[in-house]
Amino acid sequence: MKQFIAFVRKEFHHILRDRRTMLILIGMPIIQIILFGFAISTEVRNVQTAVLTPSLQTDVRKLVEQLDASEYFTVKYVVQSPDEIERLFRRNQIELAVIFPSDLHRFRFNSSQIQILADATEPNLAVTRSTYAQTILRQALQTIRPADAFSSKGGTEGMPIVAYNKLLYNPQMKSAYNFVPGVMGLILMLICAMMTSISIVREKETGTMEVLLVSPVNPLFVILSKSVPYFVLSLLNLTTILLLSVFVLNVPISGSLTILLGVSLLFIFVSLALGLLISCVTHTQVAALLVSAMVLLIPTIILSGIIYPVESMPGILQAISCLIPARWYVAAVRRLMIEGVPFVYVWKEVAVLCLMAVVLIAATTRKFKNRLE
C-alpha cells in the first residue's frame, strides 16, 4: 500500500511540475465548455436578409421593420429587381430573401402571398430560417390589418396568409450537400497538419532528426521533404472524396473543377505549413497530438461552420473563427460545388488562405532558424 501511495505521489509531482500538462488539464476543459456552451446552437440569429418589393409602401415598411426588429434577421438590402436578389445570393451576401407582390394594397382584403427564398446549401438551416421568417411575417400581417377587413364569421380565417418557400441550390434538401464540403476540410486538415507534425516530431524524439540536419541538404528542405508524402495522400483523399460525392452521393460539382482543385491545393499547403509550425514548437509526439487536437481538431469542428453556423455564434467566437483555415475553405467549396459560382465570388476566401500560407511559412522558417541557433 505504501508503494502504491508513493507512485501516486510521484505522478502528482510530475504533473504539477509540468506547466504544459497543467495548462492542458485545466485550460482545455475551460475552453471546451465555453466553446460547447456558446458555439453549439441550433437557433438562427442575425440571418442576412434582403427584401424585394416594387415600392416601399407603408405596409411593406411595417413588415420589414418587424422582420428587422427580431433577433433572428437583419435586413441589409431592399431591392426592386430579381436580378439583384440572385446577385446577392451568388456573392453570399444574404442567406434569405423575402419577396412581396406588387399589389400589396390587396393585403387588406385578400389572401397574402409572400415568397421566401432561402439558400439551401445547408438544408436544415434553410428550413429553420424560412419557418422563422414565415412566423414573423404572419404575426406582423395580423397587426397591420384593419378590423373591418376581418371576416365576420371566422375572424381572420377568411383571410389565410400563405408564404411560399423556395429552396435554392438544394431543392431536394439532401444533407450530403452540406456535410461533403465540411468533411473535405476536416480530412485534409487532419492528414496534412496533424500527421505532418507527428511525423517530424517522431524524428526529433528518436534522435534521428539531428542526423538529417547535419547532411549537406538545406535543413529546411529536409523538413519540407517530410511533408511530401502527406501532400500526395491528401491529393488521393481529395480525389476519392470528389468521386464519391459525385457518383455515390450525387452531389454535383456545379462550378469549375479546376478552380475547386486549385483552392483545395492551396488549403493543403496551408495545412502542411500549420503542421510544420506545430512540429517546430513541440518536442514529443504526445505534445504534438495535444497541440493538434486543441489548435486543429476541436476548433475546426466547432468554429469552421461545418456543423454549426458561424453567424449564430457570439461576436468574439466569430472573430476567433476567422483564424481557422477550414472556415474559409469550407465556405469556398460550398460556393464552388453547390452554388456553382465563378472565381470572382470566392476571391476573398482564397486571399485569406494565401495570407495564412505566407504567415505560417514565415513563422515556421523563423522558428526553425531559432532552433538551429
Q: Which residue has the higher pLDDT, 265 or 238?
A: 265
* CB-count exposure of residue 346 (10 Å: 0-12, 13-18, 19+): buried
Q: Where are the domains of the chain?
A: 47-168, 175-372
Res 149 pLDDT > 70 = no
Q: How confident is the model at residue 205 (pLDDT cuts 50, 70, 90)?
A: confident
Q: pLDDT (tens digit, 9 = 90+) per residue, 324-356?
A: 998 999 999 988 988 888 999 899 999 999 999
User: Are 76 and 93 spatial neighbours (Cβ–Cβ below 8 Å)?
Assistant: yes
Integer Cα distance of 267 and 296 in angstroms? 14
Q: Which residue has the higher pLDDT, 345 or 366?
A: 345
Place of cell 441589409: 76
The CATH number, out of the four listed (1.10.10.10, 3.40.1710.10, 2.20.25.160, 3.30.379.10), of the domain defined by the range 47-168: 3.40.1710.10
Q: How confident is the model at residue 233 (pLDDT cuts 50, 70, 90)?
A: confident
What integer pLDDT is reported at residue 147 of this predicted model? 43
Q: How far is CA 205 from CA 166, 191, 225, 364, in A?
A: 57, 20, 18, 19
Integer Cα distance of 51 and 100 in angstroms? 8
Instruction: Give the list of residues 6+ apart from residue 320 with CB closer than 8 angstroms, or none.
Output: 299, 303
